[in-house]
């Protein structure tokens, strides 16, 4: 098991270090985020046939028409959420294969990750079991509805593109909290939402491409 986590060849620690240097060169400045990305073995979250490509800066298929986001986007979104603050209690919408939850777990007090596809959630559970992260909780749930029983959250991150900002998630964001999501349909951009005592502010950022956020559970 130790060898599987540390990796060899194209999944080795040296390959992972090159990914971190590339992220730094592409503009990721928060060393906390870079350290978190360096700790998590991305190759265990993708299919074995794709493990040699795990540290390339690209999205990869994880089954059920879903993808694991490219490392730069994961780092960029988390960096925006963490700027000048701690992540605190964090909600991830779209757990997928569990990779982003594992990265968040290095930085957040607690991570609640919801996934609408039961088969994918089983994969995430199996992947995360290797890392024994005590602060990650997975839930089979509709991302549009969030996770009311654990709210409010200091941080909310969506790993799928919504056509509009889900009202339930706005309500579950703590005062002083931040939420980031891909917003839009054919054309998407990152949207950072901050909640203060006076209300919500929204900042539109760079264009992105994510799978759509779908309502319901399967």
Q: Which phi-psi region, left, alpha or beta, contains residue 200 (left: φ > 0; alpha: ψ -120 to 50)?
A: beta
> pLDDT tens digit string along 157-203?
999 999 999 999 999 999 999 999 999 999 999 999 999 999 999 99
Domain annotation covers residue 133: yes
List the CATH number of the domain containing 183: 3.40.50.150
What's the half-sphere exposure (Cβ side, CA atoms, 13 Å) at 153? 29
190: number of Cβ within 10 Å: 22
Phi, psi of 73 (to 5 degrees): -65, -40
> pLDDT tens digit string along 61-103?
998 888 899 999 999 999 999 999 999 999 999 999 999 999 9
Domain annotation covers residue 138: yes
Domain annotation covers residue 199: yes
> pLDDT tens digit string along 118-132?
999 999 999 999 999
Whether residue 5 has pLDDT greater than 90: no
As a whole number of Å, the end-to-end CA separation of the chain is 31
Tokens matching residue 75: 């780092």
Give how many domains the chain has, as a whole number. 1
DSSP letter (8 states) at residue 132: T
pTM confidence score = 0.94
> pLDDT tens digit string along 16-51?
999 999 999 999 999 999 999 999 999 999 988 898
Residue 198: domain span? 66-208
Which member of 35, 69, 189, 201 is catalytic? 69
Range list of β-strands (E), 53-152: 60-63, 66-68, 89-93, 110-115, 136-140
Domain annotation covers residue 165: yes
The pLDDT of 144-159, averaged and rounded, is 97
Residue 69 annotated in active site:
yes
């Amino acid at each position: 098991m130790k060898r599987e986590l540390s990796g060899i060849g194209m999944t080795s620690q040296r390959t992972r270090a090159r990914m971190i240097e590339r992220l730094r060169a592409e503009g990721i400045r928060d060393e906390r985020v870079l350290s978190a990305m360096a700790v998590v073995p991305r190759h265990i979250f993708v299919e074995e046939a794709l493990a040699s490509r795990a540290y390339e800066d690209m999205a990869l298929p994880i089954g059920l028409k879903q993808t694991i986001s490219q490392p730069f986007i994961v780092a960029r979104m988390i960096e925006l959420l963490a700027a000048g603050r701690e992540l605190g209690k964090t909600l991830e919408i779209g757990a997928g294969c569990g990779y982003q939850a594992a990265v968040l777990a290095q930085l957040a007090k607690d991570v609640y990750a919801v996934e609408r596809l039961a088969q994918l959630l089983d994969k995430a559970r199996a992947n995360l079991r290797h890392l024994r992260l005590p602060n990650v909780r997975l839930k089979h749930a509709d991302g549009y509805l969030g996770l009311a029983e654990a709210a409010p959250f200091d941080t909310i991150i969506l790993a799928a593109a919504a056509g509009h900002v889900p009202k339930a998630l706005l309500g579950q964001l703590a005062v002083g909290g931040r939420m980031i999501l891909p917003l839009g349909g054919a054309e998407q951009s990152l949207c950072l939402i901050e909640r203060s005592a006076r209300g919500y502010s929204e900042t539109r950022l760079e264009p992105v491409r994510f799978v759509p956020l779908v309502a319901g559970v399967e």
